[in-house]
Amino acid sequence: MDTQTNKLAFDGGWQYAPAPESTDHIHIDERYGLFIGGEFVEPADGGYFTSINPASEEPLAEVATATAADVDRAVAAARKAFKGPWSKMHAAERGKYIYRLARILQERAREFAVIESLDGGKPIRESRDIDIPLAAAHFFYYAGWADKLEYAFPGRKALPLGVAGQVIPWNFPLLMLAWKIAPALACGNAVVLKPAETTPLTALKVAEVVRDAGLPPGVVNILTGAGDTGAAIVNHPDVDKIAFTGSTDVGRSIQKAIAGSGKKYTLELGGKAANIIFADAAIDEAVEGIVNGIFFNQGHVCCAGSRLFVQESVGDEVIRKLKDRMETLIIGDPLDKNTDIGAINSAAQLERIEEYLKIGREEGAEMHQSSCPVPERGYWCRPTIFTGVSQSNRVVQEEIFGPVLAVQTFRTEEEGLTKANNTPYGLSGGVWTDKGAKIFKMTQGVRAGVIWANTFNKFDPTSPFGGYKESGVGREGGLHGLDAYVKLEV
Amino acid sequence: MTLAAVPSKTPVPDLERVARVDEVGVNERVARFQSRSIKTESKIEALKLVLAMIDLTTLEGQDTPGKVRQLCQKAMHLHDRMPGLPHVAAICVYPTMVAIAKKALGQSGIKVASVATAFPSGMAPRSIKLEETRMAVAEGADEIDMVISRGAFLQGELGFVFDEIAAIKEACGAAHLKVILETGELGTLDRVRRASWLAMHAGADFIKTSTGKIQPAATMPVTLVMLQAIREYWYNKGRMVGMKPAGGIANSKLALHYLVMLRETLGNAWMTPEWFRFGASSLANDVLMQLQKQATGVYQSADYFSKD
């Protein structure tokens, strides 16, 4: 049968009219200072940079660049807050403040969702249904732990560490902020947090929330800036703990920088997750899982299922269905409620992704992209799959952090496992089969921190998250996430 | 009743090889369809398409020739005050009402669909089912909506079910055959997928969810599984099969979600009354009310829309 003529038609015909989310209810200041000691202040050297909307390349706001002097001020404010009210406060009172943050986030969810999509390029459907509700859920979850730490660590006394320096990435700005701040506060620490330079706005909005919620000044400090600001936080002698989410390269340099300093640290780094589809899986639902695994958030997901392994007898079927499904994905205005794939976060990231597309083709892989039209302005990348690749291809080995999937086939469970584990990363993985015994065998065999069975990219505050090998050190989320923010005494 | 089957001409497909269905995944996909936002002109276009896809149905023991004629009038004149409306796809009635509907609809282009094969239970000998089908076709039915023998299917007598569908298909002659799976009695989505596969291989022109007499009737997850089966069949055999969810689709919003699901599963080729139908009795008026709202910005009372 000729598969070329026998093709489903998704172009033309009935189309969805634009359904943009309103921006009337949001307010973004023209210029933001640094949030230190409970108020917005000018940066010491007066420098500002511009945060842009990656879907339109239009400027959104000017944001201060924090230098070493600002980091000094912020760490001092955090130390003062820690010594003063925060660590001495009754734990149940601390919990109340965190609950308050969670409730305000929930109440202002629409506003946060729109700003997250404007600043980062992610579709409003995701920021509205996933990022913001999950961020609020993390605050709710850890608020509950604040006065129950003695049950989290029975027989031991859980003491706060002091000041936590936290550096977060641009792919889930508010959610990563919640992952960092919520457990730190619950355990009684004060924080100095730096959002990524391309996505600072929701963190600055959280600064407003922190102020409005009446948290003691200095408990939460937000410093904007680029890599130098992050380095100044990491290297500050009065910081007791570093929590970093980002690239493996930066994670490695952080580990070097703080070696011997006694600082406690958690690093959540890159990934190149294997998504393994067996012939006996529910194939149509597995195809959804592949799409969700790699095209969620434009593939800007450290646990993205970027390596697909399909059992060979269903290889052609899965690829055909995947290609048809890709044709139904809508790329465009992140604020449109029907958009499936938004803008690539920055020009630099788009360049990096396009470089990998070039490498993939040059290495002889077959590239397929969906035919969806993309806007003229802004940074866009169509959903892409590479077939005809092997473990030796760079697009299989290296983290691309974009909507790019490398597809290989396998024959036996052993071959699938070997290939899945043949990577320096180990953050996540997925297994798709109708057979329970195979789920247990495969999920025990894949060396990664999170493994999903018959689903992908599911997150919950109660579930720990973190990597093996070059994917990181330590766990965030759940009971394990508390451990990173306490010292235990008998 | 004996289940001994007539030897089949085409082999019964191996249902063990039919793709598995993951209910959680199906429900998640359905939720995505439901989150699509259909506004302004695309909403108006879709609402008109919904009207054109309706099989306007009356299947009651108390049906009379007069009631069927009234329904035919409604089918041809949905709401004449609103210009540019299509007519519905078909009228769906019992075999005894086929001749009356055929005459009432005249040259309108609206098809007459007749249920047959001891609708809704299907509990009758094959000879009677065949006779009923031939009678409905002879009276002028353009389409036959048959029910499968669910008891036999659940017992694993797949050859019996297959042969019965094939025999009814033959009795239909030129009339189109819609095969009702009565998914509310099948219990699992895996069985829905298998029954769909069996019906298509046996010659179904359409597969249809329900009689409307059993709850649950059509649901989005069940319809998605059937659409996926149609896609699979088309990938394999290159033959298009139509889809008809029936029962429980009473409002416009839900109907639009079905269209979204259809579009994103099978593509544009299926987005016509030739390949997709809604089996419904009260959907049309809700769609008309929504169209009125789109045109004027306000809802009108239900009393401004004729109920036949």
Residues in B touching A19 (Cβ below 8 Å): 37-39
DSSP 8-state symbol, B194: H
Query: Is A19 within 8 Å of B38 when comparing Cβ atoms?
Result: yes
Place of tokens 């030129």: B174
- Report residue A490's pLDDT band, with 50, 70 and 90 as the boundaries: confident
By C-alpha distance, the chain B residue nearest A11 is B268
Q: pLDDT for A28-43, tens place per residue?
A: 999 999 999 999 999 9
How many residues are there in chain B?
A: 308
Which residues, including other chains, have CB under 8 Å from residue B128's CB and lie 6 or more apart?
B118
Minimal Cα–Cα distance from A388 to chain B, Å? 23
Contact list in A for residue B25 (CB cut-off 8 A) is 282, 284-286, 288-289, 454-455
CA distance B178 to B92: 12
Residue of A nearest to B227 (CA): A284
pLDDT digits over B206-224, tens only?
Answer: 999 999 999 999 999 999 9
Is the pLDDT at B7 greater than 80, yes or no? no
Is the pLDDT confidence value at B5 over 60?
A: no
Find where tokens 């100044």 sit.
Answer: A232
Q: Does the annotation count B308 as an active-site position? A: no
β-bridge mates for residue A472, sequence order: A268
Question: What 8-state DSSP symbol labels residue A365?
Answer: P
Closest CA in chain B for residue A7: B235
The crossing angle, in degrees rounded to 10, of helices B220-237 and B189-201 is: 40
User: Alpha helices, DSSP H only, in chain B?
Assistant: 23-34, 40-52, 65-76, 98-105, 126-139, 150-155, 158-172, 189-201, 220-237, 252-266, 283-296
Q: Which amino acid is at B179?
A: V
Residue range A109-114: mean pLDDT, rounded: 98
| CB A389, CB A360: distance < 8 Å | yes
Which residues of A are the active-site residues? 268, 302
**Does B29 contact A at CB distance below 8 Å?**
yes
Give the A:B interface size as CB pairs under 8 Å. Answer: 90
Interface contact B22-A285, CB threshold 8 A: yes
CA distance B194 to chain A (A): 13
Q: Are A307 and A299 in contact (CB under 8 A)?
A: no
pLDDT digits (tens, 9 = 90+) for A237-284: 999 999 999 999 999 999 999 999 999 999 999 999 999 999 999 999
For residues B145 and B136, the answer to whether their CB atoms sit within 8 Å is no
pLDDT digits (tens, 9 = 90+) for B134-192: 999 999 999 999 999 999 999 999 999 999 999 999 999 999 999 999 999 999 999 99
B99 interfaces chain A, CB cutoff of 8 Å: no
Q: Does B42 contact A16 at a Cβ distance shorter than 8 Å? A: yes
Which of A284, A325, A328, A370 should we substitute to test contact with B (largest number of B Cβ atoms within 10 Å)? A284
Q: Nearest-CA residue of chain A relative to B233?
A: A6
Catalytic residue among B43, B111, B244, B286: B244
Q: What angle do CA A445, A446, A448 make, to 5 degrees?
A: 135
Please report residues of A whose CB lies closer than 8 A to that of B269: 8-9
Better pLDDT: A485 or A9: A485
Smallest CA–CA distance, residue B237 to chain A, in Å, is 8
Can you give the pLDDT at residue A3?
A: 43
Contacts of B35 in chain A (CB under 8 A): 125, 129, 337
Residue A193 pLDDT > 70: yes
pLDDT tens-digit series, residues A378-390: 999 999 999 999 9
Tokens of A278: 């067996």
- Answer whether residue B1 shows pLDDT above 80: no
What 3-state class would DSSP assign to B257? helix
Token duo for residue A404 = 């790019």
Q: Give the model confidence (pLDDT) of A341-354 as tens digits.
A: 999 999 999 999 99
**What is the DSSP annotation of B214-229?**
SSS---HHHHHHHHHH
pLDDT tens-digit profile of A133-163?
999 999 999 999 999 999 999 999 999 999 9
Residues of B within 8 A of A284 (CB-CB) are 19, 21, 25, 228
Residue listed under structure tokens 């012939």: A279
So what's the ipTM on this one?
Answer: 0.94
B188 DSSP assignment: S
Say how far apart CA A317 and CA B270 lie, in whole Å: 21
A203 close to A222: Cβ distance less than 8 angstroms = yes
- Helix (H) or strand (E) holding B178, with range, is strand B176-180
Do B25 and A16 make contact, defined as CB atoms within 8 angstroms? no
Nearest to B25 among A16, A280, A288 (CB): A288
CA–CA separation, B243 vs B245, rounded Å? 7
A469 class by beta-carbon count within 10 Å (0-12 exposed, 13-18 middle, 19+ buried) = middle
Q: Is B19 helix (H, G, I), strand (E, B) or coil?
A: coil
Residue A362's H or E segment, with its range, is: helix A347-362
Q: Residue B161 has which token pair?
A: 């079910």
A7 has pLDDT over 90: no
User: Would you call B145 a catalytic residue per the annotation?
Assistant: yes
Average pLDDT over chain B, rounded to whole?
95
Provide the whole-model pTM: 0.95
> Can you point out the beta strands (E) in A274-337?
274-277, 307-311
Q: Do B42 and A17 touch (CB under 8 A)?
A: yes
The answer to whether A283 contacts B263, with C-beta atoms less than 8 Å apart, is: no
Question: For residue range B78-93, what is the model confidence (pLDDT) as tens digits?
Answer: 999 999 999 999 999 9
Say whether pLDDT at B4 is over 60: no
Decide which of B17 and B292 is more confident: B292
Going by pLDDT thresholds of 50, 70 and 90, the confidence category of residue A6 is: low
| Distance in angstroms (rounded) separating the CA atoms of residues A266 and A421 | 23
Contacts of A403 (CB under 8 A, 6+ apart): A294, A295, A298, A299, A341, A353, A381, A382, A383, A384
Nearest to B268 among A13, A281, A337 (CB): A13
Average pLDDT of the residues in A73-96: 96
Dihedral, CA of residue A468, residue A470, residue A471 and residue A475, to nearest 10: 50
Mean pLDDT computed over every residue of chain A: 96
Residues of chain A neighbouring B21 (CB-CB closer than 8 A): 282, 284-285
Task: Please check whether residue B244 is in contact with residue B207, taking contact to mean a CB–CB distance below 8 angstroms.
Answer: yes
